[in-house]
């Protein structure tokens, strides 16, 4: 009898497999059936607790030195499980039953939160576009009219009549006709007047449009624009007009550069502010000119025709419409702006005629009758002094008059008139004038009078 081979002490793995031999053999068929049933009913990866349904390979290494039936059966079972794992991990295409199936209860909060998550998620495309966008009222360097590589016109310079013939100033005009003749009227010369720039620009655009067939190439239109400016405007265009390194590409670029300097980018705001300050004065303003001015400012301010009636009414002084007729026309949407203008013009004309008639009536009444005496002249101070007659002074009597005689008679020693003393004599000026006349007429009496005055000069009496 041959000697049995010594296999050594059984390993931990072989011992565990031997102990499970009896349990695995009866249930092998049930295990296979259970795997097939799980494949049909359960979709792996759909629910988070599917890990217990997937058999993972053992991480323990078996001892290859021992081989028996239990190990072979275990290897067969392991191969079946691995095959099941491969089938479960393959993506299953969605079916109609899966689409119509109701989601489990635990997934409902997540599904409800999806719209909120989409709103909170930043839009990368918009963020990138926002970073690359240009700030308001600014022009990229490549689009600038002051030497940009990719010029793009804005404002009035973007008019279609100014579209260049090509990429450079030598581009030929496809509509050129050598038999065409340019109109005699030429645009005015721009002299750095900012208030007239817009009108000048419109005249240039109209001239280029009307004489399109007369320009051979783009350089011819550039020459016209350069000759229609002077002073600082011409100096501004001169450098690039004659430059070979960075020349103007078209007449449109020249006009865009002038508009960037002399144009008003906030014309609508300026017009709105001017409308707010505008007020009609019936004694000074002409109503037709005033309405035209309001319409011009409203066009610049981009005010619609539906708001023109209220805009014009706001320019009138308070109390101009006491009857409320103009206000009713504003509130009535069926009344047009033209009807409102006609009613306003008629009201202004009527008030002007009434004012002129009242002024004329007052002037006629003032000329025909003297002014009425409305105040008493009792306490009115006279403008001129009353005509007081000069006192009759007899110089010869004054010569012989003594101070004692004047005191006895009660007369003034200076003028010989009663009623006052010499210190209060109001006729001193007349006495001096009479003395001068006597001196010229009779030198002898004047000499006696002068001697008498010298003798009496030392007497300081009140009489």
Q: Is 46 contained in some domain? A: yes
Q: Would the pTM count as exceeding 0.85? A: no
Burial of 115 (0-12, 13-18, 19+ CB in 10 A): exposed
For tokens 């022009």, the residue is 139
Q: Is 40 contained in some domain? A: yes
Q: What is the DSSP string of 92-131?
A: PPP-HHHHHSPPPGGGHHHHHHHHHHHHHS--HHHHHHHH
Domain boundary among 262, 290, 323: 262
Together in a domain, 164 and 253 = yes
- Residues 211-240 pLDDT 10s: 999 999 999 999 999 999 999 999 999 989
Calculate mean pLDDT across residues 294-314. 90
Instruction: Report residue 424's pLDDT band, with 50, 70 and 90 as the boundaries.
Output: confident
Calculate mean pLDDT across residues 397-425. 75
Return mean pLDDT, the chain. 73
Query: The tokens of 54 are what?
Result: 């997937």
**Percentage, residues of the chain above pLDDT 90:** 27
Residue 319 gets the label, from left (phi > 0), alpha (psi -120 to 50) or beta, of left
The C-alpha angle 423, 425, 428, rounded to 5 degrees, equals 110
Q: Is 373 contained in some domain? A: no
Domain boundaries, position 414: 395-456
Contacts of 428 (CB under 8 A, 6+ apart): 414, 415
Together in a domain, 290 and 321 = yes
Question: What was the pLDDT predicted at 64?
Answer: 45
Calculate mean pLDDT across residues 388-417. 71
Whole-angstrom distance, CA of residue 398 vs CA of residue 286: 80
Among 147, 158, 156, CA closest to 239: 147
- Is a pLDDT exceeding 80 seen at residue 305? yes
Q: Is 137 contained in some domain? A: no
Question: What was the pLDDT predicted at 266?
Answer: 79
Together in a domain, 164 and 238 = yes
Together in a domain, 255 and 163 = yes
Q: Is 441 contained in some domain? A: yes
Question: What was the pLDDT predicted at 232?
Answer: 92
Together in a domain, 275 and 226 = no
Q: Is 150 contained in some domain? A: no
Question: What was the pLDDT predicted at 62?
Answer: 46
Domain boundary among 242, 262, 282: 262
Calculate mean pLDDT across residues 154-172. 89
Task: List the single range of 241-245, 248-252, 408-412, 453-457 with lowest mean pLDDT.
Answer: 453-457
Longest dimension (CA), the chain: 211
- What is the domain count for the chain? 4
Together in a domain, 420 and 356 = no
How many residues are there in the chain?
463
Question: What was the pLDDT predicted at 125?
Answer: 53
Q: Is 136 contained in some domain? A: no
Instruction: Report residue 414's pLDDT band, with 50, 70 and 90 as the boundaries.
Output: confident
Together in a domain, 163 and 252 = yes
Question: What was the pLDDT predicted at 191?
Answer: 92
Calculate mean pLDDT across residues 164-170. 90
Question: What was the pLDDT predicted at 221?
Answer: 95
Together in a domain, 232 and 280 = no
Q: Is 329 contained in some domain? A: yes
More confident residue, 77 or 25: 77
Among 284, 280, 279, 286, CA closest to 349: 286
Instruction: Report residue 422's pLDDT band, with 50, 70 and 90 as the boundaries.
Output: confident
- Is a pLDDT exceeding 70 seen at residue 168? yes
Question: What was the pLDDT predicted at 36?
Answer: 46
Together in a domain, 432 and 414 = yes
Domain boundary among 213, 233, 262: 262
Together in a domain, 218 and 310 = no
Look at residue 229 and give its three-state secondary structure: strand
More confident residue, 454 or 442: 442
- Residues 60-76 pLDDT 10s: 444 444 445 455 445 55
Question: What was the pLDDT predicted at 150?
Answer: 63
Together in a domain, 281 and 212 = no
Together in a domain, 271 and 334 = yes
Whole-angstrom distance, CA of residue 201 vs CA of residue 137: 21
Instruction: Report residue 12's pLDDT band, with 50, 70 and 90 as the boundaries.
Output: low
Calculate mean pLDDT across residues 86-114. 66
Question: What was the pLDDT predicted at 311?
Answer: 92
């Amino acid at each position: 009898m041959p000697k049995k081979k010594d296999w050594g002490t059984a390993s931990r793995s072989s011992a565990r497999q031997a102990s499970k031999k009896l349990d695995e053999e009866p249930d092998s068929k049930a295990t296979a059936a259970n795997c097939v049933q799980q494949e049909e009913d359960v979709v792996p990866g759909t629910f988070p607790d599917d890990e217990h349904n997937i058999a993972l390979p053992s991480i323990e290494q078996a001892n290859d030195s021992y081989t028996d039936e239990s190990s072979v059966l275990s290897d067969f079972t392991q191969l079946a499980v691995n095959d099941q794992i491969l089938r479960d991990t393959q993506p299953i295409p969605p079916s109609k039953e899966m689409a119509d199936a109701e989601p489990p209860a635990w997934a409902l909060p997540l599904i409800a939160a999806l719209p909120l998550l989409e709103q909170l998620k930043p839009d990368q495309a918009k963020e990138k576009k926002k970073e690359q966008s240009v700030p308001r009222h600014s022009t990229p360097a490549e689009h600038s009219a002051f030497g940009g590589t990719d010029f793009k016109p804005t404002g009035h310079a973007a008019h279609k009549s100014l579209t260049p013939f090509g990429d450079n100033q030598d581009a030929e005009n496809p509509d050129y006709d050598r038999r065409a003749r340019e109109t005699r009227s030429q645009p005015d010369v721009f002299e750095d007047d900012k208030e007239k720039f817009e009108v000048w620009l419109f005249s240039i655009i109209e001239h280029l449009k009307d004489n399109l067939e007369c320009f051979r190439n783009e350089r011819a239109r550039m020459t016209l624009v350069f000759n229609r400016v002077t002073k600082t405007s011409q100096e501004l265009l001169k450098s690039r007009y004659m430059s070979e390194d960075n020349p103007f590409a078209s007449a449109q670029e020249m006009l865009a550069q002038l508009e960037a300097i002399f144009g008003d980018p906030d014309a609508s705001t300026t017009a709105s502010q001017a409308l707010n300050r505008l007020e009609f004065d019936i004694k000074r303003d002409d109503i037709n000119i005033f309405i035209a001015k309001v319409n011009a400012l409203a066009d610049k301010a981009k005010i619609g025709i539906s708001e023109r009636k209220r805009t014009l009414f706001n320019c009138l002084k308070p109390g101009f419409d006491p009857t409320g007729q103009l206000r009713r026309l504003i509130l009535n949407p069926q009344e047009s702006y033209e009807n409102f203008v006609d009613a306003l013009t008629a009201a202004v004309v009527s008030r002007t005629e009434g004012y002129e008639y009242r002024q004329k009536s007052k002037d006629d009444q003032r000329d025909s009758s003297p002014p009425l005496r409305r105040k008493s002249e009792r306490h009115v101070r006279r403008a001129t002094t009353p005509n007081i007659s000069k006192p009759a002074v007899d110089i010869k009597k004054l010569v012989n008059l003594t101070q004692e005689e004047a005191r006895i008679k009660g007369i003034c020693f200076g003028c010989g008139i009663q009623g006052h003393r010499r210190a209060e004599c109001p006729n001193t000026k007349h006495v001096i004038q009479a003395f001068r006349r006597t001196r010229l007429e009779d030198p002898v009496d004047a000499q006696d009078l002068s001697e008498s005055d010298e003798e009496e000069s030392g007497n300081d009496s009140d009489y």
